[in-house]
Amino acid sequence: MPVRQDTALTGSLSVRGEVLAVGGVTRKVEAAIEAGILRVIIPKANENDIILAPEIKRKIKIIPVSNIRDVLKEALVWKGKEHILSKIK
């Protein structure tokens, strides 16, 4: 399964597949923008922690996620393999 090359991600994962909050999310998003990344996956718990000017925030799509299924859905290329994703809980 190919990984999307336009997407970065940050976060921590529990043994139950929950995406946990991490520190420094604003700086990580800024670094992704500087690197030319178009999308960044972040923990939903960090969604309100991002402090960016609107003109900077428009340069990247921020995708908040709460579990490993959401991460896989956004980070991998599912074309032609959507049936596999539907089996992941």
Residue 2 within a domain: no
Domain span at residue 16 reads 7-87
User: Whose structure tokens read 């490993």?
Assistant: 68
Percentage above 90 pLDDT, the chain: 88
Query: How many domains is the chain built from?
Result: 1
Q: What is the pLDDT of residue 8?
A: 98
Which segments of the chain have a pLDDT < 70? Answer: none
Q: What pLDDT shows up at residue 82? A: 86
pLDDT in the model for residue 85: 85
Q: Give domain status of residue 1, yes or no.
A: no
DSSP labels for 13-82?
Answer: E-TTSBEE--S-HHHHHHHHHHTT-SEEEEEGGGGGG----HHHHTTSEEEEE-BHHHHHHHHB--TT-H
Q: How many CB atoms lie within 10 A of CB 1?
A: 10
